Amino acid sequence: MAFKAGQGMTPGQIAEAMGGDATGGRVGAQLRKYGVHLPRRGDDDIMQLRWSRRDRLALEEIASKRQHDAPDIAVIALRILIAEPILFGNLLDEADQIDEALRK
């Protein structure tokens, strides 16, 4: 159930996939009970990414100091970068230079 929620399925879709007497309401209540976040409605989209444990822990530390969770901080940072395309481009250029130097 939690895996399907993480894949972006709604409680109704999960209930349908489970079959039996499962309902969207029951599935949603069970997921919330165990702290599984459900996808939001509207124009939100789900994107899974692979990142290092070190980076995740660093972001969680930053987030805890700001009383947010790590995914919220990641979205805030992304929105800032999208709003500032020159800054974003400069940071990507710098990351490319660092990658090149590390490969030598």
pLDDT tens for 5-17 read 777 777 888 888 8
pLDDT band at 43 (very low <50, low <70, confident <90, very high): low
pTM given for the model: 0.52
d(CA 42, CA 10): 12
Q: Which residues contact 17 (CB under 8 A, 6 or more apart)?
A: 4, 9
CB 2 within 8 A of CB 34: yes
- pLDDT at residue 3 is higher than 90: no
pLDDT digits (tens, 9 = 90+) for 63-103: 899 888 888 888 888 889 999 999 999 999 999 999 999 99
